[in-house]
Amino acid sequence: MGMTMSQKILAAHAGLDKVVPGQLIEADLDLVLGNDITTPVAVKEFKKAGLDKVFDRKKIAIVPDHFTPNKDIKAAEQCKYIREFARDMDIENYFEVGEMGIEHCLIPEKGLAVPGDLIIGADSHTCTYGALGAFSTGVGSTDMAAGMATGKAWFKVPSAIKFVLKNKPQEWVSGKDIILHIIGMISVDGALYRSMEFMGDGLAYLTMDDRFTMANMAIEAGAKNGIFMVDDITLEYVKEHSSKEYKVYEPDSDAEYDEVYEIDLSKIEPTVAFPHLPDNTRTIDNVGDIEIDQVVIGSCTNGRLGDLRVAAKILKGRKVKKGVRVIVFPGTQNIYLQALKEGIIADFIEAGAVVSTPTCGPCLGGHMGVLAKGERAVSTTNRNFVGRMGHPESEIYLASPAVAAASAITGKITDPRKV
Amino acid sequence: MKAKGRVFRYNDNVDTDVIIPARYLNTSDPKELAKHCMEDIDKDFAQNVKAGDIIVAGKNFGCGSSREHAPLAIKASSVSCVIASTFARIFYRNSINIGLPILECDEAVQGSEAGDELEVDFDTGIIRNLTKGTTFKAQPFPEFMKKIMASDGLINYIKNKNQSG
C-alpha cells in the first residue's frame, strides 16, 4: 500500500521510509508559528520549563495580528511580552505592526512556506499552507513551546480523503464557494483527524488565492490538514516569493484513501453558510430574503489581492446600501499597497466602505467591527459559530468576496450575477 | 486516578469560541478565563460548576480555534474531565498537552443526563453512572499519551526526557 502526499511528507520528516495511518511519530519541523493570542501562553510554558534557547531562530515566526494594532491595555501587554521574547531569542521572523499582516496571508507572501515543508502553528488556520503542497497543521500553545525548544512535534499519522476536482468553475464562483460546498457535503467533522488532499484537472482553473482559501478552511471540516498537489501555478508562486529549498511530493499511485470524491467545479453555485456552523450551507438561489447590517471582506480566508479585486469589480462605481456597514481588511501591508496602487482601495471608499489595516479583529469578534445583539453580517471569514463576531445573539453568514460585495449593494444576501 | 462529579451536558460541535469567547483572550490567566467558561451557551456554568464536575458532550467537542485557553478555562473551572462522543483534534491534543483528562465514549454520552453523578477511573477507562446504575468503557489512551499525561503535560515530559538523557 502506497502513501498519500501528507503521509510522505511526515515520513520524510521523521526519517522513515514508510508510515501508516495511526502510527505515532516524532518529526522535524521546518517552521513553528504563533500569534499574539497563542504565543504568550507558549512563552509562559517555555519559561516555566526553564528553557532559554530556541532550536533555530530562523525557523520560528511570530506575528502579532489578532488584537493588533493593540485594541486595549491587556492586548498591548500581551504583544509587549512576545515582542520582548522575540527580541531576547533573536527570532528572525517577528513581524511588527507596519510590516505585518494576517499571519496566513503573510507567511506565504514572505516565502516562509514552500512545497514539502512540515509546519505547525498555534493557530487553527495554519492548514492554509497546504495550498503550497506543504503539510501544515494547527496546534496549541504548548505544542508551539515544545516546537520552539526542540524543533520537533509528535503526530499521529492521518488517513486521508481524496478530492478530485474537475472542470472550470462558473464566473463569480471561487475557492470559497468550492470549500463551502465541500464542507456542506461532508459536514464540520467529516474529515476529523484526517487529511483532505486536493488534485485533478480542475486545479488548472484555481488561482493560488483560491487554493489558500480552500486549504484554510480544511479545519472547518475537522481535518488535520488540507493539501494541494503541486503544479505550475504553485511553482510560479514559489519562484516569485521564496528562495527556500522545496520538495514536491505526489501521492503514490496505490495510495490508499478512506474516501474519494469527484467534484465537478462547473456545477458549483455561489454558496452561503448559514448560522451557526460552516456546514449549514445553501446555494445562493435557496438563500431567500436575508437582510444584513454588516459586510466583512477580508481575513486569512479571503483577504488576498484576488479577493479584493473581485469585490472591487462589483463595488466600483456603485454605492453601499444606506444603513449597511462594509468593512474591508486586506491581508497584509503588501496586499493593501498593491490594492492602493491598482485603485481598488479608492473604489471601496468611493462606494462607501471602510478599509482597515490588516488584523484578525472582526473575524473573531475582537475589535474593528464587533456585532451587536440581533445584528446580521455577511462575512468572507471562516467561522459562523455562536458569538464568533460579537454578541451571542448575532448572526454570521459565510460567503465569497463576490457574494459579500453584491450583498453590500442591496443590503441583503445577493447573487453576484444579479447586480 | 479517579474522578467523581455531576454532569454538565452539551450537544454536538461545541466550539472553542463558546468554551471561551475571543473577547476574553486579552488575558491568558486561567482563573480569569474560568470566569467566562461556556458563558455564550450556558451563562450560569461558571457559577454552578463545582470541583470535580464533569462535562459530557456529543461529537466534535472543541472544534474551531486552536486556543489552548479553552482547555485551560475548563481545567481552571475545576472540571475533573470531559467525556465526548468525539473530540476535535487540536482540542484533543491541547488537553493532553496541558493535562486535562478527556475520554471518548459515545455510550456514556448517550447514557448520561445533566445532573447525573459519574465516577471515572482513568486507569481502566471505566465510567460509572452512579445515578442510573450503568457502566461504560472508554477507549484507552495510547502509551505515549499516557506518558505525557503522567508527566503532567508535554513540557514536563520533554524536560524529564532531556534530564534522563
pLDDT digits over A340-399, tens only? 999 999 999 999 999 999 999 999 999 999 999 999 999 999 999 999 999 999 999 999
User: What radius of gyration do chain A's Cα atoms show?
Assistant: 20
Torsion of CA B71, B72, B78, B81, to 10 degrees: 20
Of A66, A280, A305, the residue nearest A188 (C-alpha): A280
C-alpha to C-alpha distances, B145 to A121, A155, B57, B95, nearest whole angstrom? 21, 11, 22, 11
Contact A237, A215 (CB under 8 A): no
Contact A10, A29 (CB under 8 A): no
Task: Name the residue facing B144 among A24, A189, A192 (closest C-beta).
Answer: A24
**Residues 6+ away with beta carbon under 8 Å from A269:** A170, A173, A177, A283, A284, A285
Contact B49, B77 (CB under 8 A): yes
Comparing A21-35, A75-89, A282-296, B138-152, the range with the smallest average pLDDT is B138-152
pLDDT for B149: 78
B40 touches chain A (CB under 8 A): yes
Gap between the Cα atoms of A397 and A294, Å rounded: 10
Of A115, A145, A154, A156, the residue nearest A32 (C-alpha): A145
Polymer length in residues for chain B: 165
Are A142 and B94 inside 8 Å of each other by CB? Answer: yes
pLDDT band for B141, please (50, 70, 90 cuts): confident
Are B25 and A123 inside 8 Å of each other by CB? Answer: no
Q: How far apart are the first and last CA of chain B?
A: 28
Q: What is the pLDDT of residues A100-152, one digit of tens each?
A: 999 999 999 999 999 999 999 999 999 999 999 999 999 999 999 999 999 99
The C-alpha angle A148, A154, A160, rounded to 5 degrees, equals 125
B11 touches chain A (CB under 8 A): no
User: What radius of gyration do chain B's Cα atoms show?
Assistant: 15
pLDDT for B145: 80
Residue written as grid cell 503544479: A231
Polymer length in residues for chain A: 419
pLDDT for A136: 98
Gap between the Cα atoms of A200 and A167, Å rounded: 9
Gap between the Cα atoms of B153 and B97, Å rounded: 5
- Return the residue in A6, A124, A220, A379 with the most chain B beta carbons within 10 A, the one to mutate for interface testing: A124
Contact B56, B84 (CB under 8 A): yes
Are A38 and B41 inside 8 Å of each other by CB? Answer: no
Are B67 and A38 inside 8 Å of each other by CB? Answer: yes
B75 touches chain A (CB under 8 A): no
- Residues of chain A with pLDDT > 90, as a percent, come to 99
β-pair type (B2-9, B117-121): antiparallel
Gap between the Cα atoms of A45 and B99, Å rounded: 13
**Region A273-297: what's the mean pLDDT?**
98
3-state secondary structure chain A: CECCHHHHHHHHHHCCCCCCCCCEEEEECCEEEEECCCHHHHHHHHHHCCCCCCCCCCCEEEECCCCCCCCCHHHHHHHHHHHHHHHHCCCCEECCCCCCECHHHHHHHCCCCCCCCEEEECCHHHHHHHHHCCEEEECCHHHHHHHHHHCEEEEECCCEEEEEEECCCCCCCCHHHHHHHHHHHHCCCCCCCCEEEEECHHHHHCCHHHHHHHHHHHHHHCCCEEEECCCHHHHHHHHHHCCCCCCCCCCCCCECCCEEEEEEHHHCCCEEECCCCCCCEEEHHHCCCCECCEEEEEHHHHCCHHHHHHHHHHHCCCCCCCCCEEEEECCEHHHHHHHHHCCHHHHHHHHCCEECCCCCHHHHCCCCCCECCCCEEEECCCCCCCCCCECCCCEEEECCHHHHHHHHHHCECCCHHHC
Are A123 and B40 inside 8 Å of each other by CB? Answer: no
C-alpha to C-alpha distances, A400 to A235, A290, A382, B51, nearest whole angstrom? 26, 16, 10, 45
Q: How many CB pairs under 8 A join A and B?
A: 133
Q: If you average pLDDT over every residue of chain B, what do you get?
A: 93
pLDDT for B43: 94
The C-alpha angle B96, A258, B146, rounded to 5 degrees, equals 20
Q: Read off φ and ψ for residue A306, nearest 5 degrees.
A: -60, -40
The grid coordinates listed for B41 are: 451557551
**Region A212-232: what's the mean pLDDT?**
98
Are A140 and B97 inside 8 Å of each other by CB? Answer: yes
Q: What is the pLDDT of residues B116-140, one digit of tens each?
A: 999 999 888 999 999 999 999 997 7
Q: How many CB atoms lie within 10 A of CB B24?
A: 17
- Return the residue in B33, B39, B41, B68 with the most chain A beta carbons within 10 A, the one to mutate for interface testing: B68
Q: pLDDT at residue B165 above 70?
A: no
3-state secondary structure chain B: CEEEEEEEECCCCCEHHHHCCHHHCCCCCHHHHHCCCCCCCCCCHHHHCCCCCEEEECCCECECCCCCHHHHHHHHCCCCEEEECCECHHHHHHHHHHCCCEEECHHHHHCCCCCCEEEEECCCCEEEECCCCEEEECCCCCHHHHHHHHCCCHHHHHHHHHHCC
Are A383 and B93 inside 8 Å of each other by CB? Answer: no
Q: If you average pLDDT over every residue of chain A, what do you get?
A: 97
Smallest CA–CA separation between B27 and chain A, in Å? 7
B97 touches chain A (CB under 8 A): yes
Smallest CA–CA separation between B69 and chain A, in Å? 8
Q: How far apart are the first and last CA of chain A?
A: 51
- Return the residue in B19, B25, B29 with the most chain A beta carbons within 10 A, the one to mutate for interface testing: B25
Domains of chain A (ranges; CATH) run 5-263 (3.30.499.10), 271-418 (3.30.499.10)
Task: Name the residue facing B63 among A44, A145, A188 (closest C-beta).
Answer: A188
**Region B39-48: what's the mean pLDDT?**
96
Are B66 and A123 inside 8 Å of each other by CB? Answer: yes
Q: What is the pLDDT of residues A396-417, one digit of tens each?
A: 999 999 999 999 999 999 999 9
Gap between the Cα atoms of A338 and A327, Å rounded: 18
Q: Which residues of A touch B28 (CB under 8 A)?
A: 40-41, 44, 78
Comparing A141-150, A239-248, B141-150, the range with the smallest average pLDDT is B141-150
Gap between the Cα atoms of A361 and B61, Å rounded: 25
pLDDT for B164: 67
Q: pLDDT at residue B75 above 90?
A: yes
Torsion of CA A184, A216, A354, A275, to 10 degrees: 30
- Return the residue in A39, A144, A189 with the most chain B beta carbons within 10 A, the one to mutate for interface testing: A189
Q: Which residues of A touch B41 (CB under 8 A)?
A: 386, 392
